[in-house]
Amino acid sequence: MIFGRSERGKPPVEPVTLKILVAGGFGVGKTTLVGAVSEIRPLRTEELLTEAGRPVDDTSGVEGKHTTTVAMDFGRITLRDDLVLYLFGTPGQERFWFMWDELSEGALGAVVLADTRRLEDCFAAVDYFERRAIPFLVGVNCFEGAPRYPVEDVRQALDLDDGVPLMMCDARDRESVKEALIGVVQHAMAYAADRRQTVTT
Amino acid sequence: MSADGQGRSHWFDDEAGPVVRPYAMTRGRTSSHGQHRLDLIAVVVTEPHADDPEADHMLSPEHVDIVELCRDVPQSVAELAAELDLPIGVVRVLVGDLVDAEFVHVNRPVPPAELPDESILRDVINGLRAL
């Protein structure tokens, strides 16, 4: 937490905030990616599954416990005093997908991280963003020791639409993650331009 | 299999949950009236005139924390939840109370589809490059 950035008496700058989601299977490097570019160590925020009207978790067998926690990791990049980008790692388990709906509302776009050893782990995320027309790119996290495949092969294995960018990346490497995020924003811009054209023609 | 499933009947430490149940701080409320759900990146800004929130006996210590945290640097709902170690739903209710009492105001994020022009997105790209 930074205090004292503004002098007393001066109204603080009220930034414009944007968010990009980081999705993918368990252990694919979502939190690592967030940590590679965030100016704060990835923070963890939690929600209890006790909110009224939520689909109820099946607690049979664990009657002693009535709440479950969904954790999301997130990071912050202050691009300018008045422009802040947040990165949110989506919760992995499928039963927490209601959190995805909330996270993806108003999101600029998403990075879907994939691991070539377990490609099927990111199918759900690809599906999710396709269905909701949220611009995303697939970043193939190049784990040491994992087999490398040509981009085209991975694209085919994922059955990606032609318009969806796919790139190799290293979730630990700041430059690589920056490139992926820039790719998401560029894709989002192109996507928005496309949509405008379909509306006007 | 035993009645408690895992053969465990006790919860210890963190597993037992917080000493004060989080939604007790909101007096059981899970949403605040009249407020659309606050986005995780909605920014909470303390009003300049809210200089002594502790003097208001309607406010809980958590309310006061939020007013103080957002005074110099406005904070997003997600940051407040992480900083105060409270569930997002609880922070939403508390912020809703503070908006009603005019201690803070909230800037809702503009959905990308409603951005007036592309210049903000270009600024994001340039900002990322410059990191």
Domain limits of chain A? 16-59+67-200
Domain limits of chain B? 18-130
Say how far apart CA A52 and CA B119 lie, in whole Å: 40
Q: Which three-class secondary structure string do you get for chain B?
A: CCCCCCCCCCCCHHHHCCCCCHHHCCCCCCCCCCCCCCCCCCEEEECCCCCCHHHCCCCCHHHHHHHHHHHHCCEEHHHHHHHHCCCHHHHHHHHHHHHHCCCEEEECCCCHHHCCCCHHHHHHHHHHHHC
Q: State the count of interchain CB pairs (< 8 A) between A and B.
A: 153
* pLDDT by 10-residue block (mean), chain A, 201 residues: 50 91 90 93 73 44 54 91 94 73 91 93 92 95 85 92 94 96 96 80 64
pLDDT-derived band of residue B21, with 50, 70 and 90 as boundaries? confident
Rounded to a whole number, what is the distance in Å from the CA of B41 to chain A's nearest CA?
Answer: 6
Q: Between residues 26 and 55 of chain A, which touch chain B (CB distance below 8 Å)? A: 37, 43-48, 50-52
Say how far apart CA A126 and CA A124 lie, in whole Å: 6
Q: Does A189 touch chain B (CB under 8 A)?
A: yes
* Domain A16-59+67-200 top-level CATH class: alpha beta
pLDDT-derived band of residue B28, with 50, 70 and 90 as boundaries? confident
- The pLDDT, as a whole number, for residue A60 is 46
Residue type, B75: Q
Length of chain A: 201
Give pLDDT tens digits for A19-48.
Answer: 999 999 888 999 999 999 999 888 877 776
- Chain A residues close to B112, C-beta within 8 Å: 18, 106-109, 188, 192
* pLDDT greater than 70 at residue B80: yes
pTM above 0.90, yes or no: no
The rounded Cα A107 to chain-centroid distance in angstroms is 9
- Chain B residues close to A6, C-beta within 8 Å: 72-73
Give pLDDT tens digits for A108-135.
Answer: 999 999 999 999 999 999 999 999 999 9
